[in-house]
Amino acid sequence: RRHLISAADLSRDDALLILDTADELAKISERSIKKLPTLRGRTVVNLFFEDSTRTRISFEAAAKRLSADVINFSAKGSSVSKGESLKDTALTLEAMGADAVVIRHGASGAPHRLAGWVRGSVVNAGDGTHEHPTQALLDAFTMRRRLGSLDGRRVTIVGDVLHSRVARSNVLLLATLGAEVTLVAPPTLLPVSVGSWPCAVSYDLDAVLPKSDVVMMLRVQRERMNAAFFPTEREYSRRYGLDRDRVAKMHDDAIVMHPGPMNRGMEIAAEVADSPRSTIVEQVANGVTTRMAVLYLLLGGANLGGEDQ
Ligand code: CP
């Protein structure tokens, strides 16, 4: 496989290979080996047309830990402000010798278009409201580390599903891995297509919590929100926010996730985000390992020997 555009492109075997490779990389890193020579001489371009903290930095860290050369491109301060198209930007980067292009873009489908223009591998780092497949992979990796196999695990994803590429990629990947997913959201924050997704839907968070092994809270995406579709922030927190009282309804081993960035006090209470059940910081660390696995597999790196430089 040359590109990673959608979680739907991954078979169960593909997904397990990425997660197993990430496990192997985590073990190497636990042996205090910080850098592997496996992608020496290869070039990874990070092409970010939308803001990012976690994804951008973790792709950069992942590529550098595999000894690839990294070029970081941000639309802000580039010739995009002079009207240069995505295609011309991509061909310019291609001329500089990109073996892989990691792209985040506000338009759903931009990574798919890019894949038709460049020779290297394309990795979707989030496109509009469509998909964020490496987020779903790092989330699955985090769940596996805490809970073991995902077969039959019950995962509840809560909040602004309408605008969430994280939710869509998670639903697709988790279904492939055998988990049972339930979405909980106000009816106005669910996409019309949700009926065809491989998951259940509920409007009652309190009823679903006791049966959940994982509760994944989504960021309310105010920047994409049409005010007419949104209850007041207070009403939203009251019905869909995860606070201490709600967490008390979860079973002892259940975990709380959030992809970040968080609106503390809105979809998740600060004390819940910082509690031992929360995997939010682990998710960030696991993001580096999982993205290393993706780059390694797409670029056909040399064997993972675990030797230091
Ligand atoms: N989870 C996530 O994609 O975060 P960033 O927008 O900071 O990359």
Q: What is the ipTM score, two decimals?
A: 0.97
Query: Does the active-site annotation cover 54?
Result: yes
36 contacts: CB under 8 Å, gap ≥ 6: 28, 65, 66, 67, 304, 306, 307, 309
| CA proximity to 210, closest of 254, 270, 274, 149 | 254
- Check: CB of residue 4 under 8 Å from CB of residue 133: yes
Residues 293 and 267 in one domain: no
Look at residue 45 and tell me whether its pLDDT is greater than 70: yes
User: Does a structural domain hold residue 2?
Assistant: no
Residues 237 and 274 in one domain: yes
pTM, two decimal places = 0.94
Query: Does the active-site annotation cover 112?
Result: no
The finding on whether 170 has its CB within 6 A of some atom of ligand 1 is no
- Residue 38, annotated ligand binder? no
Q: How far is the CA of 54 from the centre of ligand 1 (A)?
A: 5
Which residue in 42, 130, 132, 153 is the catalytic one?
A: 132
Q: How far is the CA of 308 from the centre of ligand 1 (A)?
A: 30
Residues 102 and 180 in one domain: no
Q: How far is the CA of 307 from the centre of ligand 1 (A)?
A: 31
Residues 236 and 105 in one domain: no
Which residue in 3, 104, 130, 153 is the catalytic one?
A: 104
209-233 confidence digits (pLDDT tens): 999 999 999 999 877 777 666 677 8
Cα 124 from Cα 49, distance rounded (Å): 12
Query: How far from the centroid of its chain's Cα atoms is residue 192's Cα?
Result: 22
Look at residue 85 and tell me whether its pLDDT is greater than 50: yes
Query: Does the active-site annotation cover 87?
Result: no
56-82 confidence digits (pLDDT tens): 999 999 999 999 999 998 888 788 877
| CA proximity to 274, closest of 253, 247, 234 | 247
Residues 143 and 271 in one domain: yes
User: Does a structural domain hold residue 193?
Assistant: yes
Cα 85 from Cα 98, distance rounded (Å): 18
274 contacts: CB under 8 Å, gap ≥ 6: none
Number of domains in the chain: 2
Q: Indicate the DSSP class of residue 264.
A: B
Residues 151 and 276 in one domain: yes
- Residue 221, annotated ligand binder? no
Quote the domain boundaries for residue 233.
133-281
- The pLDDT-based confidence of 306 (bands split at 50, 70, 90) is very low
Residues 85 and 141 in one domain: no
Q: What are the Cα distances from residue 151, in Å, to 100, 139, 202?
A: 32, 15, 21
The finding on whether 135 has its CB within 6 A of some atom of ligand 1 is yes
Residue 308: predicted pLDDT:
38
User: Does a structural domain hold residue 308?
Assistant: no
Query: Does the active-site annotation cover 27?
Result: no
Query: Does the active-site annotation cover 55?
Result: yes
Atom number of ligand 1 nearest to Cα 53: 7
CATH at 72 = 3.40.50.1370
Residue 304: predicted pLDDT:
59
| CA proximity to 8, closest of 183, 202, 197 | 197
